[in-house]
């Protein structure tokens, strides 16, 4: 049944006041939500509550709808229980021609996740493995390592990152540079 929002909002405000609901129903909610809330609040209405005829009529209609829906659901459930299960259809000729695929064999080898090496990882690897060396040699060897592991060659980028990585590691005290610019790893 269709209800005007103005009528429903008036009923909600009246129930909030008469029943002293806590928390109160918010009259600014959508109409469908208000109707649900109104049905729930209508369960709390007693005969001695003084309601306007419009609100009383609306509550009566909502409760009647709720009961009708419950009865319809009960009947549908009863019919579903009474029905006998239908037999499965016989397989067609096309289905009999489809061959079964065996399940895949379980993987016995450990799964190794391989990721592309970054330029910074290439620089750190080169510092660990090839030190002592100069920043220029570090950039060249790190670029070669990066290319070997799937990267695109770019010596200028490797030089720029080498400068940043060397300055950072030197500030942290992980490496040192001598007067000739040779990088050594501190242990």
Residues 125 and 71 in one domain: no
The verdict on residue 142 lying in a domain is yes
Q: Find the range with the poorest average confidence among 5-9, 57-61, 75-79, 149-153.
A: 75-79
Structure confidence by residue, pLDDT tens digits, 127-185:
888 878 998 999 999 999 999 988 899 999 999 999 999 999 889 988 888 888 888 88
Tally of domains in the chain = 2
Measured distance CA(182)–CA(138) in Å, rounded: 10
Q: What is the pLDDT of residue 67?
A: 77
The verdict on residue 58 lying in a domain is yes
Q: What percent of the chain has pLDDT over 90?
A: 19
The verdict on residue 93 lying in a domain is no
Comparing C-alpha atoms, which of 128, 179, 121 is closest to residue 145? Answer: 121
The verdict on residue 168 lying in a domain is yes
Strand arrangement, sheet containing 182-185: 133-134, 182-185, 175-177
Q: What is the pLDDT of residue 114?
A: 67
The verdict on residue 151 lying in a domain is yes
Among the candidates 23, 52, 76, a domain finishes at 76
- The pTM of this model reads 0.40
């Amino acid at each position: 049944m269709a209800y005007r929002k103005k009528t429903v909002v008036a009923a909600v405000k009246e129930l909030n006041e008469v029943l002293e609901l806590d928390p109160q129903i918010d009259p600014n909610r959508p109409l469908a939500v208000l109707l649900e809330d109104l049905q729930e609040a209508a369960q709390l209405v007693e005969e001695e509550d003084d309601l306007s005829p419009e609100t009383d009529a609306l509550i009566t209609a909502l409760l009647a709808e709720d009961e009708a829906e419950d009865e319809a659901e009960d009947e549908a459930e009863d019919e579903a229980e009474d029905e006998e299960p239908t037999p499965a259809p016989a397989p067609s000729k096309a289905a009999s021609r489809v061959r079964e695929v065996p399940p895949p064999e379980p993987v016995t080898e450990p799964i190794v996740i391989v990721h592309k090496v970054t330029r910074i990882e290439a620089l750190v690897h080169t510092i660990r493995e090839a030190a002592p060396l100069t920043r220029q040699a570090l950039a060249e060897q790190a670029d070669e390592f990066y290319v070997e592991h799937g990267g695109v060659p770019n010596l200028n980028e490797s030089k720029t990152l080498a400068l940043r990585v060397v300055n950072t590691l030197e500030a942290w005290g992980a490496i040192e540079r001598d007067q000739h610019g040779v990088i050594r790893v501190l242990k």
